[in-house]
Chain A
Amino acid sequence: MKVPLYLAVAQWTLLFAFGLLLIVVFRQLGRTLHKDDAVVPLGPEVGSKAASLEYSRFADDTVQYLAPGDGQPTLLAFVEPTCPSCEKLVLALGTAEHSGELSGLRVLLLTSSPKSYLKVSDAFRATRLECGRILAQATTQAYGATSTPLLVAIDRDGMVRAAAPAIELAEVRTFSRACSFPAAGGESIPITATTPQHENDLEAAAPAAGAD
């Protein structure tokens, strides 16, 4: 059967047109995936106003409201009992607390896990620091707590002075200094994030509230 010349040419042209569109789609897909990998901020922006938050305190099972900027510098630690790096951070915070380096600071361990999960970790079970469960997923979003551990230093005016992953005692000390840093000027203490992050996703775990 003889194919008309026009049909043969049209087929090739259509093939090229589809190929070009396929390239456009794949380029866009690659660009989108690259962006998703590259631009995932961890922690709130330094110098911004810290968001208020609600948490369920494990010690007495009461709901607490924290409004940064109430005059007390605060050190927030977003941690998970199932995360080994978080255990180290909790131990480091305990050591700093014991030695009085965190005096005058409000230190708060925040997790998305239920109270029963604390049993799996010696560090969490033994800590004397205030520990609570985040009640709203909006809190993890506001603090950019997409992975743990994350330490956030908030000064007495409620401004974020430092935010980065941390596990070592030296890093805890730097953050405790950041909390007391003079508020004027808006400058921040540079924090070097050398800590390997745990892939725990607080946002994913937060909707499980109430499963305790």
Chain B
Amino acid sequence: MDVLVLCAKTAVACLLIVAGGAKLADPASFASTVRLFVPLRIGWPLLSAIAVGVSLGEFAVGVASLTFPAIMALDVLVFAIACVFVAVSAIGYAFHRGRSCRCFGALSQRKFDAAGVLRGAVIAGIAAVALAHVNAAALQLDATARVLLFAAAALLAMTAFTAARARGAGSRREVVAQ
């Protein structure tokens, strides 16, 4: 049971890190998605700032969750973020169906649809599993392990950033070719 809970905890943390890193590769396009959910008419600089803030927030929570697994509050925060994903997917499905969600930047071409709501619910479910109690001994990490996990998280974000940028460049080429 402990293995299952820890798998859920690390999987959601990695998901947040990858999503944050990928979005940071092209904040302008994610800003266009953010605009869909902001009822007020605000300028692009502010929208871009919100997009970067959301991306950095996802990354930060993912890294914190990965490197400090014993902090229960982080698990709750991750679950809350997963619930926000579900809410965003549902609102997007209701009002902006077919528009690109940019949930993973250019890494994914997913749109706001019923499957997106289901994916959000699955992520929330996994985050809920991560809330379950785990034997404290399994979560004991020393400073070296934390540093290594932090380095791995940074590397993961950089890889996602690079992959998203490569995919984004490829997509633009397609548009030019058409």
Question: Which one of B31-39, B93-101, B116-124, B154-162 contacts A?
Answer: B154-162
B10 touches A9 (CB 8 A): yes
Taken together as a complex, chains A and B put the C-alpha atoms of A39 and B174 apart, in Å, by 10
Q: How far is the CB of A10 from chain B (nearest CB, A)?
A: 5
Residues 22-78 of A at the B interface (beta carbon under 8 Å): 22, 24-25, 28-29, 31-32, 35, 39
Docked CA distance A22–B11 (Å):
17
The answer, yes or no, to whether B132 is at the interface (CB within 8 Å) is no
| A4 to B135 Cα, complex, angstroms | 11
What are the residues of chain A within 8 A of B145 when measuring CB–CB? Answer: 4, 7
Interface residues of chain A: helix, strand, loop or mixed (majority):
helix
Measured in the bound complex, the distance between the Cα atoms of B106 and A25 in whole Å is: 12
Instruction: Decide: A4 and B140 in contact? CB cutoff 8 A.
Output: yes
Cα separation A147 to B134 with both chains bound (whole Å)? 66
Distance from A45 Cβ to chain B, minimum over Cβ atoms (Å): 14
Q: Which residues in chain B, 54-93, are within 8 Å of chain A measured between CB atoms?
A: 66, 69
CB pair A25–B162 under 8 Å, yes or no, is: yes
Q: How far is the CB of B143 from chain A (nearest CB, A)?
A: 13
**Are B14 and A14 in contact, CB atoms less than 8 angstroms apart?**
yes
User: Which residues of A are in contact with B by a Cβ distance under 8 Å?
Assistant: 4-7, 9-10, 13-14, 17-18, 21-22, 24-25, 28-29, 31-32, 35, 39
The 10 residue pairs across chains A and B that have the minimum distance between CB atoms = A5-B138, A13-B10, A9-B6, A17-B14, A10-B10, A25-B163, A21-B159, A28-B167, A24-B163, A6-B139
Residues of B within 8 A of A (CB): 2-3, 6-7, 9-11, 14, 17-18, 66, 69, 107, 134-135, 137-141, 145, 149, 152-153, 155-156, 159-160, 162-163, 166-167, 170, 173-174, 177
12 A-B pairs within 8 Å (CB atoms) are namely A5-B2, A6-B6, A7-B145, A7-B149, A9-B3, A10-B10, A10-B149, A17-B14, A17-B156, A25-B166, A28-B166, A35-B174
